Amino acid sequence: MNIISQNTAFGGMQGVFSHESEACKCEMTFAVFVPPQAIKEPRPVLWYLSGLTCTHANVMEKGEYRRMAAELGLIIVCPDTSPRGNDVPDELTNWQMGKGAGFYLDATETPWAENYQMYTYITEELPALIARQFRADMGRQGILGHSMGGHGAMTIALKNPDRFKSCSAFAPIVQPSTADWSAPALEKYLGSDKAAWRRYDACALVEDGARFPEFLIDQGKADSFLENGLRPWLFEEAIKDTDIGLTLRTHERYDHSYYFISTFMDDHLKWHAERLEK
C-alpha cells in the first residue's frame, strides 16, 4: 500500500492510498478516515460507495463526514468507483459506462471482464487490505452510498447480511435492470441474459429471497434523476410482504448533489453508529 497523502482532521487522520489490485488488474486508489479513538482500540468500519463519474475524492472533499465520524469513532473507507489506467477499457463519450461507472459488479463480457471486477474488489480484496493496514474492527461493518453507490451498497448488503450490520443510501438506483441510465451498462458488462442482472438489482434480489434487516434511504424530491433512474418506490413495493425494515425519507427542494448528501450525512453516520455499537 502506497501513501498518497495524510492530513490531520478533527483529531483523526484523512488519508489517500493506492495499491496494485489483483481483482481489477490495475492500480486502485482509495481514501480512509481514521478517527482519534483508533489510537487506543479497533473501531467500526463504514464503507461509502460513490456514484457515476465520481472517484474516491468526491465524498472526501464534499461529503462533510469527518467531524461526526471523529465524534462517533467510525473509520470511513471511500473506494474508487471503477478500475483506472490507460489499458483499462472505457467509453470516452459515455459517462454511464466504463471508468467512473463500474456499478459495483463483476463483469463477464469482453472487454470489460478483464478489469471490471468491482464486486470482488469491494467485498474481498479491499476489506482484506483494510484489515491488515488499519486498526479496524471488521466484525462491525456498515455500508452506504449515493446513486450508483447506493445501488452498490444495497445489493452488497443484501448479498452479505452476515458481514454488514447496517446499510443506508442517498438517492439509490434501486432497480438498475430497468432504469434508463443503468440497464445499457448492465447489458454490456453482463451480457443479454437478464437473469444475470438480477444479482446486481436490489429489487430483484429481494424478489429472489435475499434479506437484510433494515435500510435508511434519503431522496430529494427535486432530483432530476428521480423518475427515470432512481424510483425508490419500487424498492418500497418489493419489500412490502417481507420483514425488511425501510425508513424512506423524501425532502422538498433537494437535488442529486453533494449539497443534499452533506446535509443529511450526520443523520446517516449516527444511524450506522447506533447499529454498529450493538
Active site (annotated) includes residue 147? yes
Backbone angles phi, psi at 9, to 5 degrees: -150, 125
Residue 157's φ and ψ, nearest 5 degrees, are: -65, -45
CB 49 within 8 A of CB 102: no
> Are 271 and 166 a contacting pair, CB within 8 Å?
yes
Q: How far apart are alpha carbons 60 and 93 in whole angstroms?
A: 26
The β-bridge relationship of strands 2-9 and 245-251 is: unpaired
CB of 268 closer than 8 Å to CB of 216:
yes
Catalytic-role residue among 147, 166, 168, 182 = 147
Q: Name the nearest CA neighbour of 231 among 201, 198, 264, 260.
A: 201
Catalytic residue among 56, 146, 151, 256: 256
| Cα→Cα distances 21→12, 82, 201, 229, Å | 27, 11, 25, 31
Give the residue from 19, 189, 15 showing the smallest Cα distance to 104: 189
HSE-CB at 37 with a 13 A cutoff on CA atoms is 16
- Letter string b/e over residues 163-177, b meaning 16 or more CB atoms within 10 A of that residue's CB: ebbbbbbbbbbbbbb
State the catalytic residue, choosing from 90, 151, 223, 272. 223
Residue entry with cell 461509502 = 48
Show which residues are catalytic: 147, 223, 256
